[in-house]
Structure 1
Amino acid sequence: MKSQPLKTIKWGILGLGNIANKFAKDLLTIEDAQLQAVASRSIDKANEFGKTYHAIQCYDSYEALAKDPNIDAVYIATPHSFHKEHAILCLKHGKAVLCEKPFGMNAEEVKEMIAVAKENNVLLMEALWTYFLPHYQFALTELKNETYGKLLKVEADFGFTRPFNTASRLFDKAVGGGSLLDIGIYPIFATLSTLGEPDEIEATSTTFENGADSSCDMLFKYANGTEAILKSSLIEETPTACVFTCENGVITLNTQFHAPSTVTISQNGKEDTIDYTGNTIGYNFETIHFNQLLRDGKKESDIMTYDFSLKLIKTLDKVRALIQLEY
């Protein structure tokens, strides 16, 4: 008996920057998904983006996209400071929302977003794509099964250099620019998803002339003696790796650990490397998960849960308080 085809999920993309391009490119690789509409404040930009990724409709208004009755789900890729506003706009129009990380600027914003999703009985999920990547899921399984004994230490960094430019979102403190929210979230995510919330946090930072954080060094301490040494930087090229040191071996997610990468297992003086790079950028994995949640009528992810998103943003808030970073 021939199986029934899956319901095609019709997507809208709100905000058409760099990450939106990556998401749209990978969306084209998913058979049961379609780019229904895109929106930008510039109709020319919307039309150009729509033509590139075969969108059916292009808008110069975010509200017009939110009202489009043909859209099932919206991917929000606007700057951090607009996530709450745009997510709530779409949720109130009954659209399922996949919102780029960080979910919001602080825990209060995230709580409000979740409350609106529940009030409107609509699916909402933070788009922290790393959680869904095969190499990361492999590492999580190995750590959960204690294949190499108990996890003793996490070391994770994310650093690169760009010329300082106040016109760039990356350096604009007003929209959440700086190293912590933009890339520091990944090392923190790696720690929370493996060791859980720390009992104590130490953090120091450096800043650009406009007050945005240029780097952040963090130490997470746990009552059982485990620790996490974390770093984010916009002024230093770092390995951008994640190392899980266990009692009887080491699992290393190699360079660009937040994206599809290779994983090296070190044990008894031997190393074995597994290649998890593939034919896509990697955004398809979170999208496929989200599509299935929508088909199944689910209102919350069982992987990227509300509880985890709240723990993540609360931890970011604690670090910001320690380094006296206010938006």
Structure 2
Amino acid sequence: MTATPIRLGVIGLGVMGRRTFDQALRHPDFEVTFAADANPKLVDELQAAHPGIPFLAPTEFPDHVDAIYIATPPAWHACYALLALNHGIAVFCEKPLAVDLAEGREMVAAGGVTAVNFPLSDTNATLYLEDVIPDAGELLGVDVRMTFPQWPRSFQAPAAWVGERAEGGFVREVFSHFAYLTDRLVGPIRTVEATVDYPETGSEVAARGLLRAGEVPVQVSGYAGVAAAESYEWILWGTRRSYRLLNWTQLSFSDGGDWQPIDLAGGGSGAESTRLSLFAEAVRGRRPANLADFADALRVQEAVEAFYR
């Protein structure tokens, strides 16, 4: 039996962790009962702003916790997730699930209530596409294209690991979103062949891949540090109708002519607050359709990490 509200611990208070921490403080389904981060300066700042919340070491789970949210660098996801799951604590984790595939598989095998924060899981664009894919006819392919004038992006600058090879790179950080979307809408995703190119130091500057979603071919290309606007493009090619998702929220279709915009009622995006609501449903025993779990995220991780092998 889970207490109401759900008692939540937040581990990792960087860009994503702080955003979800702030949302959880205001969310009617949650009570933040502890928080943790490896940066003592950040902990001191947040402790001063929130004196009623204990700030603990990441592995010091108090007895009064039902769930944790993990937003550490991905190499630490398995450590905290497995500790929680082995104590019957539900886990909501940032993507990617992990970097090490053995750890990702161990996280899935641990069972329990799990979720992964893929922002495309509950956007209006995703929900619309889920309804209209039969209108596309036979699915002939998916294209994913990404360009970045700089990597890491400016908002990621405080997280140095995002620009490093061991845990970062735009394939892990960005393509993973579109791998999840393709897996969900088209079929189980797997990598057939893929390569990345590296500069002298840092994460990849180019990535190319051929994957399959079920039996549908998926072509991936991405470039960082190029003279071009930042751009994210996902295209589903069908024999009767094709669909294009541009820059996360701009959805359009083609029946053979120019791309025509699709008006998405209520805007294009879900939010941390809506995914927290979905996670609350999962903790309370109702499996929400629009929230990824560890098994979903493992398929994405396997497809993504194949680029780096």
Q: Which has the higher contact order (CA 8 A, sep 6+)?
A: 2
Matched, 1:87 2:81: yes
Does the 8 Å CA contact 1:135/1:263 hold for their aligned counterparts?
Answer: yes
Stretch deviating more after TM superposition (263-272 or 73-82): 263-272
Does the 8 Å CA contact 1:171/1:177 hold for their aligned counterparts?
Answer: yes
- 1:45 aligns with 42
Q: Summarize the alignment of residues 201-216 of structure 1 with structure 2, pairs less than 5 Å apart.
A: 201-210=192-201, 212-216=203-207
- Aligned-pair CA distance for 1:213: 2.1
The unaligned stretches of length 5 or more in structure 1 are 1-5, 322-327
Stretch deviating more after TM superposition (308-317 or 71-80): 308-317
- 2:164 aligns with 172
**TM-score scaled by length of structure 1:** 0.79
Matched, 1:229 2:223: no
- Aligned counterparts of 1:274 and 1:312: Cα–Cα separation in 2: 29
The alignment's C-alpha RMSD in Å is 3.2
Matched, 1:57 2:57: no
- Aligned counterparts of 1:279 and 1:58: Cα–Cα separation in 2: 36
- Aligned-pair CA distance for 1:279: 10
Q: Secondary structure at the match of 1:173?
A: coil
Residues 111 and 202 of structure 1: CA distance in aligned 2, closer, same or farther (over 3 Å): closer
Residues 167 and 32 of structure 1: CA distance in aligned 2, closer, same or farther (over 3 Å): closer
Does the 8 Å CA contact 1:43/1:58 hold for their aligned counterparts?
Answer: no
Does the 8 Å CA contact 1:47/1:58 hold for their aligned counterparts?
Answer: no
- Aligned counterparts of 2:280 and 2:193: Cα–Cα separation in 1: 39
Q: Summarize the alignment of residues 1-327 of structure 1 with structure 2, pairs less than 5 Å apart.
A: 7-28=4-25, 30-49=27-46, 56-64=52-60, 66=61, 68-116=62-110, 118=111, 122-143=112-133, 146-162=134-150, 168-174=160-166, 176-197=167-188, 201-210=192-201, 212-221=203-212, 226-236=216-226, 237-255=229-247, 257=248, 261-267=249-255, 269=257, 271-275=260-264, 282-296=271-285, 303-321=291-309
Q: Secondary structure at the match of 1:193?
A: helix
Residues 250 and 290 of structure 1: CA distance in aligned 2, closer, same or farther (over 3 Å): same
Q: Secondary structure at the match of 1:162?
A: coil
- Aligned counterparts of 1:268 and 1:8: Cα–Cα separation in 2: 51
Residues 100 and 63 of structure 1: CA distance in aligned 2, closer, same or farther (over 3 Å): same
Q: Secondary structure at the match of 2:168?
A: coil
**TM-score scaled by length of structure 2:** 0.83
- Aligned-pair CA distance for 1:302: 8.1
Residues 133 and 47 of structure 1: CA distance in aligned 2, closer, same or farther (over 3 Å): farther
Does the 8 Å CA contact 1:125/1:305 hold for their aligned counterparts?
Answer: yes
Number of aligned positions between the proteins: 300
- Aligned-pair CA distance for 1:136: 1.1
- Aligned-pair CA distance for 1:127: 2.2
Q: Secondary structure at the match of 2:186?
A: coil
Residues 123 and 303 of structure 1: CA distance in aligned 2, closer, same or farther (over 3 Å): same
Counterpart of 1:315 in structure 2: which amino acid? Answer: A
**What percent of counterpart residues are identical?**
19
Residues 153 and 217 of structure 1: CA distance in aligned 2, closer, same or farther (over 3 Å): same
- Aligned counterparts of 2:42 and 2:4: Cα–Cα separation in 1: 30
